[in-house]
Amino acid sequence: MKNILITGASRGIGKSIAYYFARKGFNVVGTARSEFKFMDADFKGTFTPLKLDVTDRDSIKDAFSLLKEKELLPDILVNNAGITADQLFLRMKDDDWDNVLNINLTGTFNITKMFIKQMVKNRSGKIINISSVSGLMGNAGQVNYSSSKAALSGFTKSLAKEVGSRNITVNSIAPGFIDTDMTEYLDEKAKLDLESQIPLKRMGNASDISELVYFLASDEASYITGQTISVDGGLFMH
């Protein structure tokens, strides 16, 4: 039974990925900044919720030791933890920039740096970074968020080139507008305006992302690495 570690697993896309893999029989370790639980009788695998701040390197070291002891070091790593602090650039506070970059980008560095070592030793592993269409096309009011997510594409490509010879693949997924609690703040008119810009005329579901994560984590995707794959209903086309 393989192990998967998913950051930001208490809600939204991360929660969907955690449930998906647990139902497929994986040992799932999910992290969040606060205490959380998962309850589901349909799990074929195991689920271990873990309170973890991706910006706290000492906390990550402790998590590594704990998971090593429990034989739960990840074969698959999903860097999903992320926040937004939207504001027009001229009004953006320094903390809005620092916090978003620290969690979305540096947090990915921190987690990957710690857990990739075992993958290199095993000469096997899958790393999947959850980016955003905002990092590909930009979005007004999201200079901080778009910058952090655009940087993940460079992170993904460079790391993929470094560890490919160790049989480790590194890919990124760029979701478009997905129907989660991060889009709940939109009123009906805003949602309709948004959907009118999407060729498929609807927002995506969290399961659309989970299914792609599952594919990229599988042996069937063993020759795919260094890619950023959009799941956005055609909103942004390269």
Q: Would you name the residues annotated as active-site residues?
A: 145
H or E element: which one contains 79? strand 76-79
Residue pair 52/35 in contact (Cβ under 8 Å)? The answer is: no
Residue pair 204/180 in contact (Cβ under 8 Å)? The answer is: no
Report the amino acid identity of residue 232.
D
Q: Which residues, other chains included, contact 69 with Cβ-Cβ below 8 Å and sequence gap of 6+?
A: none
Distance of CA 140 to the CA centre of its chain: 22
3-state secondary structure of 31: strand
- Whole-angstrom Cα distance, residue 192 to residue 170? 35
